[in-house]
Structure formats: C-alpha cells, structure tokens
Amino acid sequence: MAKLKNDRLIRALLRQPVDKTPVWIMRQAGRYLPEYRKTRERAGDFMTLCKTPELACEVTLQPLQRFPLDAAILFSDILTIPDAMGLGLSVIEKEGPKFARPVRTHAEIVNLSVPDPEVELRYVMDAIRIISRELDGKVPLIGFAGSPWTIGTYMVEGGSSKEFSLAKEMMYATPATMHLLLSKLADSITLYLNAQIAAGVNVVMIFDSWGGALSAQCYREFSLQYMQRIVAGIKPDASGNKIPVILFTKGGGLWVEQIAMSGCEAIGVDWTVDIGSVRSRTGNAVAIQGNLDTAVLYSTPQVIRQEVGKVLESYGKGNGHIFNLGHGIHPGIDPENVAVLVEAVHELSIKYH
Amino acid sequence: MAKLKNDRLIRALLRQPVDKTPVWIMRQAGRYLPEYRKTRERAGDFMTLCKTPELACEVTLQPLQRFPLDAAILFSDILTIPDAMGLGLSVIEKEGPKFARPVRTHAEIVNLSVPDPEVELRYVMDAIRIISRELDGKVPLIGFAGSPWTIGTYMVEGGSSKEFSLAKEMMYATPATMHLLLSKLADSITLYLNAQIAAGVNVVMIFDSWGGALSAQCYREFSLQYMQRIVAGIKPDASGNKIPVILFTKGGGLWVEQIAMSGCEAIGVDWTVDIGSVRSRTGNAVAIQGNLDTAVLYSTPQVIRQEVGKVLESYGKGNGHIFNLGHGIHPGIDPENVAVLVEAVHELSIKYH
C-alpha cells in the first residue's frame, strides 16, 4: 500500500497533532456534482453504478478533483449486504431503495446466509483495489457499512420507512427474531469491513442512520451492542496497522458517552449537538467528526465561513476533530459553496492547532 | 365553567399528589379509531372536519367513550393559523398539508396579518365551547397550537419537508426575515391560545414538531425563544386560574434543561430519552409528559404492560408525571391495545403515588 501523502485524517482520528483540521463531506461523491450526474446517467441506474468498479472509482475520485478534501470515501451503498443475501435490491430515484424479498419471519431470517465478501461482494472489493491504486496515497480511503439495526430496518420494512412500524413490531413482539437478524448482520458486516481493509481502505465508518429512532434502552440493546461487536472484530491491515473506526449514529447525541465507550476511535455527530459539549461529555476519549448543519450550504459564502468558524470554535483548541457536515450533502447544493466550506475549514482551523 | 370531576391531569401538571398517573394519548382522536374514520368520511375531507364545530366535537369525544382517559384534546390542526392568514391550506390524505400560497420573501411576510381568533378562527372557538359544554367537567380539555418555528417551516416550504431546505435557507441567509415571520407567529399563537382559554380549555400545549431539526444554537434562537414569549403571554382563565402550559419539542431531549426554564409547567418528551434521566436533569422544576415508544402498541398486551411498567419505573415515585406516548399514535394501531395501555398505566402507577 502506498504511503499516505496527506495523513491529516488518520492523525486526527488517532488524536495526534495536525497542522489544520481535516475535512471531508458525507456523500461528497453525489448528485450535487454535475460530473457525478453524468457518470450516473452513463451507468443507467444507481446499482449498476455501485456494481461497476471502474465507474464507482470514477465517482469516488470526482470530488477530490474539485476540492482539497482530506479523504476519499468509497462510493457504494449501505444495502449491498442484504442485496448479497438475496433480497433483491433496486434503487429508484426519488422512491428510494426497495427489496423484492423483505424478511418478516423467523424462518426467513434463519435461512439468510452470511455473504462471502470476495464472492457476492467482490465488486466492492474490486472497486476498492482500483480506487486505492488510483489514489496512490494522495489521501486516505474510507470504507464503510451500515449498522446492523439500520440495515435490518430496510430488510424488514422492504425499503425506507418513517416510523419503522414493522421493524419495531419485530423488535418488541419477537425480540429473539430481531436479535437473530442483527447477529447475522453483525457477522456479515465484520467480514465485509475486514475484506475492505484487506482490499485497501485506511479507515472504516459504520453508518447507524436509524439508531436515533430507538428508545434509549432499545438503542443499547438493538443497535450499539452490535456495533460494539463489529468494532471488536475489526482487524489491522496487512502491514499490521490499526484501522481507525468511526461510529456515526444520526440522532445519537443523547448517547455519546456510551457510543464513545464502544471501542471505536471516533464518533460522528449530527448538527443537533454542540460539538464542544460532546467533547467534554466524552472526556477526549475519542475523536469527534462533524457537525455543520448541511443546510448552511444553502446560504452565502460569508455565512458559511461564519458557521464553519462557530463549529471550530466550539470544538476548541487541540487534537481529535475531523470536520464534516452533520449528515449527507443534499443534491440541490451549489458545489461552489462546498469549495468555500473546505477552504474555510483549512484556513480558519490553523489557529486551533 | 363546570368544576372538574377528574382533575388528575391538572394536579400532575402542577406537581400535586394524585392517586394514579394520568394518561392521555397524542392524536387520541384519530384514524386508528373506526368511529373517527366514519365521521371523517361524513365530513368529506380533513379541513371540513376541523372547520365544522359539531364534527370536531364528535371526534374529540370519541376516544373518551372507549377508554378511561384523563384528558380530552381539542380536535384541530397546527396549521389553522397560517390558513387564517390566507395561505390556502388543503390537507390531502397520504400527501399531507399543502399551502396554495407559501411565503418566501420579506415582503410576503411583512404583508401577513395576525388573525383575530374570534373572527378568522371562530370555528375553533366554537368547537371548544361545544366540547366544553358536552364534557361538563368530566375531564380537562387541552387546547393547543404549533410552535412558531414548526408552523413557519410549513409556511415557507409550502407543506411537509424532510430537510427544511427552504426554511433553513431563510434562517441562515436572511435571519431577519425568519425572525419577522416567527415574531408574527408568536403574536398570533399567543392570541389564539388565550382565546382558546377564554372559550374553555383547561390546559394548553405547544407542539414543536420540528424544533429537533435545528442545531443547538438555532433551536434557542429560532424556536425556544419564541415559545418562551408565548408562555409569558398566556393569561389565566375567567375565574383567575392559572392555565398550565406543556411544551413539547420532538427530538428535543438534548435541551430539556433549557426547555424547563421557559416558564412552562410541563415538558413533553419523545421516546428517545430516558424519562428518569430527564427528571433528574430538570431537577423536578417541571412536570414531564411521556414517553412510551408508539411502536410498542404494535406488540402484544403482555409487552405493552411491561413497557408501560418500565416508563413508570424510570420516572419513579412522586408527583409530576403525565403518561403519554413519545409522539402521536399511528393509524395502523389496534384500539384494543390502547385499552391495554390505559388500564396498565392506571393499575401499575398506584404504587408510585
């Protein structure tokens, strides 16, 4: 593996000194970029884009050609695992993901098998190998997976959901069935992330998009517990380097103390928390990634700089901050405003280091 | 006004001793009840149901005929105020509310006038007068309004929203315009709630459904500040009795200390927080309403009783708890399970009083 020319992200994740706060953006390879929309059009549909390693590589690298970002993130989807389990995923624009064969019964879950990442998910590993070669150590490459609870909700609901009625019905009425599903997912995700590491990613992130829909107690039992199991199973890379893990529970601001105890190196936080208060609540035990409100990017360069400044000031002096939005960038945002954001982070953060 | 035969809710709101924990359910008059669906069908559409006082009274009383609830809540909608301001509200099933004339510019907001509750919103006051007469003091009647920020998002977006891009763009890019809108809404809501009190409600509740979509700082500046202004403007009833105010910010669990300082008598909390920890964080300064995960009602009577027991145990012994769900009941829930819930609260709560 090529030595990293820009290791700001890794250093920040390990809470080591950096010259400037590293910055990357959730969904940085996405629909707000005209060049992404072109590649996607060429691919035909979203899943073909994910499943064609050369095209996944192309879109992964696009934002780096525009902005001096401190990381690349694999272009893929959190639902590749259930797709590989045979649920039949399709992603239709504006309708979101749909599974042809959702799982609703204990028997259906018993029958699910854990995918072999180098067989059913080989297209992801191939994409990572190509991206890693193309990046040639320019910046770190982040791999990722959805959390067991988050992926599980889609598998049970058959797609997106607002209330998670079916998934929560399973959780409350037949908890053993839900635990079996989450356990199989935790095993699958652990294998999947370790395969991503073997293929070349430098960091892994777990996206718990829907953990915030749970009660405090259910969050610990049905989401955090399984993420902890994954974190404990993450292996070093081929050279024996520890691979930092970022856990991000959207809407998890109430539980950051517990998330920080999961064994991860960093926690992602959404825009609803004050990042400085998260830092003091977690006692500098982990690095913190976040947390500008994405909607700030609808405003003006002047306001963007001011709001970037507030997040940096709230985190304060010292190590362990990775700048990001509080959730993924929206398709309607002007790429020029992203340039303003990245520049502002690098420029305004110098005085905190 | 008739003397209350069941004053558990009022006593709990004022943190006075009660024999059992009072319980009511957000959206208790709603689509999960077959008798509601019949009345609504007769009305033709949702807004006609809201605007016909006899029908609004009928659906308000329906859940009380089924369950021994400790409160009635006026059947209405949080968007009556912008409708009265002339934005042209229509509510279409499965599509949600839509405004024919959303407000997007400073000039449009300058032109908005504060509605006179006994003129443009007379149908609400008439409904309260009829319900109040019919209830004849059986249980207290709760009046309500949306929060300025919550109503404002609908007015700017023109309907429901996931990301609140337009409302947040206004907030970040032209804060003075957003403040003008929120200020007019705060004035309108204060008048509206005071008129509801004069017409006969015993308690008022402010629903801040979308305050939780804001950053910590924006929540204080664009939502909580205006709710405080409303609370400060609430007048006693005709007999000089103080009318308790409940503030409910969905997703506001991070900010309960600040919400509790707003001057309200009670805060509503959603299911993501541990109600016992909210009690200790707010130091018994206010009563607390909540907070069972609505999805528990998809499970079995046994699980419902167990989960009701956990919420009661988490709150613990003593005064100041009003049992409720963490948000509104879903249309797909079996009314029989609501009966189980209400019975469980009354039965299992005795030992905490």
CB-based contacts of A336, cutoff 8 Å, min separation 6: none
Residue B1 pLDDT more than 70?
no
Mean pLDDT of B296-319: 98
d(Cα A197, Cα B275) in Å, to the nearest integer? 41
Q: What is the pLDDT of residues A39-65, one digit of tens each?
A: 999 999 999 999 999 999 999 999 999
Using alpha carbons only, give the angle A66, A67, A70 rounded to the nearest 5 degrees: 135
**pLDDT reported for residue B99:** 97
Residue B113 has a CB neighbour count (10 Å cut-off) of 11
Selecting from B168, B212, B274 the residue whose C-beta is nearest the C-beta of A295 gives: B168
Q: Is the dihedral of CA A341, A344, A348, A349 positive or negative?
A: positive
Q: What is the distance between the alpha carbons of residues B77 and A46, in angstroms, rounded to a whole number? A: 39
Tokens of A251: 């809407």
Query: Checking phi first, is residue A172 left (phi over 0); if not, alpha (psi -120 to 50) or beta?
Result: alpha
The number of beta carbons lying within 10 Å of the beta carbon of residue B326 is 25
Contacts of A272 in chain B (CB under 8 A): 212-216, 219, 251, 254
Of A54, A53, A64, A3, the C-alpha closest to A29 is A64
Question: Is there a cis peptide before residue A194, judged by omega within 30 degrees of 0?
Answer: no
First to last CA, chain B: 29
Q: How do beta strands A321-325 and B203-208 pair? A: unpaired
Cβ distance A156 to A181 under 8 Å? yes
**How far from A117 is each of A89, A122, A188, B307, CA to CA, in Å?**
17, 6, 8, 39
Angle at B268 (CA atoms; ends B267, B272), nearest 5 degrees:
125
What pLDDT digit, counting tens, does each position of A187-223 carry?
Answer: 999 999 999 999 999 999 999 999 999 999 999 999 9
What integer is the mean pLDDT of A156-183? 97
User: Are B272 and A212 an interchain contact pair (Cβ–Cβ within 8 Å)?
Assistant: yes
Q: Between β-strands A321-325 and B72-73, what pairing exists: parallel, antiparallel or unpaired?
A: unpaired
CB A60 within 8 A of CB A14: no
Tokens 């593996």 locate to: A1
In eight-state DSSP terms, residue B164 is -
* Cα gap A344→B4, rounded to integer Å: 61
Strand blocks (E) in A189-253: 203-208, 245-249
What is the predicted pLDDT for the residue at A94? Answer: 80
Task: Give the pLDDT confidence score for residue A212 in this predicted structure.
Answer: 97
| This prediction's pTM | 0.96
Q: Do A332 and B168 touch (CB under 8 A)?
A: no
CB contact under 8 A, A303 and B254: no
pLDDT band at A92 (very low <50, low <70, confident <90, very high): confident
Q: What span, in angstroms and rounded, lies between the C-alpha atoms of B202 and B3?
A: 11
Percent over 70 (pLDDT), chain A = 100
Q: Which chain A residues are within 8 Å of B254, Cβ to Cβ?
A: 253-254, 272-273
A27 belongs to the catalytic site: yes
CA distance B60 to chain A (A): 25
- Report the pLDDT averaged over residues A272-279: 98
The DSSP bridge partners found for residue B91 are B97
Q: What's the sign of the alpha-carbon dihedral A255, A256, A261, A267? A: positive
CB B28 within 8 A of CB B73: yes
8 A C-beta contact, residue A51 and residue A126: no
Write out pLDDT tens, residues B193-246.
Answer: 999 999 999 999 999 999 999 999 999 999 999 999 999 999 999 999 999 999
Nearest partner of A315 among A343, A253, A273, A347, judged by Cα:
A273
Q: Which of A222, A220, A160 is nearest to A185 (CA)?
A: A222
- The pLDDT of residue A332 is 94
Is residue A324 reached through a cis peptide bond, with omega within 30 degrees of 0 on the bond before it? no
Instruction: Say yes or no: A299 contacts chain B, CB-CB below 8 A.
Output: yes
pLDDT mean over A303-331:
97
DSSP B202-238: SEEEEEETTGGGS-HHHIIIIIIHHHHHHHHHPPP-T
List the catalytic residue out of B8, B11, B15, B27. Answer: B27
A173 burial type by CB count under 10 A (0-12 exposed, 13-18 middle, 19+ buried) = middle
User: Residue A30 pLDDT > 70, yes or no?
Assistant: yes
B130-156 pLDDT, tens digit each: 999 999 999 999 999 999 999 999 999
Q: How far is A85 from chain B (nearest CA, A)?
A: 27
Residue A247 DSSP SS3: strand
Whether B154 is catalytic: yes
C-alpha span between B298 and B264 (Å, rounded): 32
C-alpha A184/C-alpha A115 separation (Å) is: 10
pLDDT bin (cut points 50, 70, 90) of residue A1 is low
Using the Cβ of B176 and the Cβ atoms of chain A, whether some distance falls under 8 Å is answered with no
Reply yes or no on whether B31 is catalytic: yes
**Token reading at B51:** 């605007």
Q: Which of A31, A37, A122, A129 is catalytic?
A: A31
What are A314-325's pLDDT values in tens digits? Answer: 999 999 999 999
| A175-199 and A165-173 helices, crossing angle to 10° | 120
Structure tokens at A171: 């959780």
- Mean pLDDT, chain B, whole residue set: 97
